[in-house]
Structure 1
Amino acid sequence: MSTPILRDSSTSLYEQIAHQLLEEIQRGAYEPSGKLPSEAALGQRFAVSRVTIRLAVGKLSDDGVVERKQGKGTFVAAKQVRHGLDALRSFHEALLLQGLKPSMRVLDHQLQPVPEALSGLFADAGHCLLLERLHFVDDEPIALGRSHLPAELANVLWREAEHRPIYSILESIIGSPVTRADMTIRAQEADRHLAQTLKVKRGAALLVMERTSYFADGRCCDRTTFFIRPERYAFVLSGVFKSGPAH
C-alpha cells in the first residue's frame, strides 16, 4: 500500500517519492524483471509532474539503487557482490555465501610449460595447468579467472567439475589443505578479449585481483588472476584498532 505524499511537508516531494520507491524495491515489488514503471505512469500515480519524478528517480540512480538503460527504461540495480578479504575462501564460495546463484563456465584448460614469471612459485615443476573460467551471477558475466595450477590437475574432467571451487579440487586431488593466500588488488583497462568476454566496453576499468595460494607445507598451489567488473563487486576488509599509548 502506498504512503500518501505530504504536499505541505518539509521533505520535498521528490525525496518522499524516492523514499517510497526505495521501500518498494526493498520489498521486491518490482521483481522478477526489476523494471520500474515509466515516468509518465509514476507521475500519474503520485499526481506530480514528470520533472518531479525525474528528480526522484535521479536520486535513486545517484545512490546506486536503480540504473537507467537507454531505450529500455529504469531497472533495480544489480546486487553488488561483497568479497571479504579476512577469510580464506574461493571466489565461487564468496558468491554462494551471499545467497546468490553463481555459475561457472570453463573457457580453456591446457598443460603448458611453467611461465618464466612463475618459475619461483612452481620451482620443481616443468609444467603447470592453465585454466580459464568465466564466473556468472544471474547469468551475467561478472569475472574471468585465469589460473595456473599444479600439473596433477591436468586429468580433471573440467566440464564435469566446472562448478566446484578450485580449493576443493586442489585438496581432493593433492590431498593437502590450502592454508594461506596472498592477494593484491589493482585496476586495469579492459583489452579487446576481456571486453568481449565480460561484456563491457573496450578500455573500461576492471578490478584485478591476483591471488597466490599455498599448501600447509609452503608449496604454491595456485596463482589466479581475476578480472572483475567493478560495478558488481566490492572487496571488504574489517579492521580492529589496537589499544596503545596515545601519540
Structure 2
Amino acid sequence: MPATLSTGLMDTPLAATDTIGNTAVIRIAAARRMQRISVGSLVVAGCLSLLLVFGRIPGIAEAIGDPLFFKRCLVVHVDLALVVWFATQAGTLFALLPATRREHRIFNAGTAIAVAGILLMMGAALARGAAPVLSNYVPVIAHPLFLVGVALFFGGMLGCFVNGRLFRPIAPASAADIARNPLWVPPEVAAGLKTSALAYLVAMVSFVASWLATPAFLDNRNYYELVFWGGGHVLQVANVAAMLAVWLWLLASVLKRPVMRPSTSWLLFGLLLAP
C-alpha cells in the first residue's frame, strides 16, 4: 500500500463516521487487521527466502534429512509474497468501503478464515516427504494440509470481497465529509476496488471449474498447472484493477478533486474485466 494511504490508515481519528452512519472505527480496525496480515505475510516470505539461501550451504540440507524441505519453503514463499500479499492489500482497501455492521462481521469472519488458511499453508512446509509443485500462479505442496489451507484462504478472502459493500453505490462526499474522514473512498476509486473484487470472484469460479474438469490421473505438475492456469490469469486482472484504483486515489488526493466521473471509471474498469 502506498505510504500516504498507509499513514492515513494509522492516523485517522477513530471518532469519524462514514456515510451510512456506523462508526468509521469499525472500518479502520478491519483495514488495519488486513494490512497487518498483508505485511506479516511479506515478512514471513522474506524469512523463508533466507532459508532458501541457507539450504545451499554444504551440509545443511543433509543435516535436515528432507531434500524437499527447501523447495516446500520456496512454494510457501511465493504464495505468501504474491498470492497472499496482493489479495490482502486489495482487502485492506476494500475494508474502507462503507458497510453495515453485519457486513463488517462477514468481513471479519472471512479474515479469520483466511488467516487459518495461511497458517495451514505455512505448516505444510514441515510435512516431511510432501512434494512441492512449482505450478504457475499458485505453486502448491501436494499435501492435504496445504490444499485445505489454500481453499480456506481463497474462501475467506471471497467472503471479505463478496458482501453487501460490493453492491452498494458510493455517493460523492462534500469537502466537510472528506475533512472528517480522510479515508473516504471516492466513487471512481470504489469502482476499481469493486472491479478487483468481481475479478477475484471470477477467478474463484474458474478455479472450481478447472478443478472439476481436470482429469485426476494427471501427474502433479500438469494437474495443478491446469487447475490454476485460468483462474491465475484472472487474479492478475484483480491485482491490476486494485493497483489502478490506488493510482486514482493518489491522484485525486493530489488534485483535490475527482479524477473522472464514476460512470467513466466504471466503463474503463468494465473494459478491463470484460476479456
- Shorter-chain TM-score: what band? under 0.3
Higher radius of gyration, 1 or 2: 1
What TM-score results when the alignment is normalised by the length of structure 1? 0.25
What TM-score results when the alignment is normalised by the length of structure 2? 0.24
Q: Give the structure, 1 or 2, with the largest relative contact order (CA under 8 Å, sep 6 or more).
A: 2
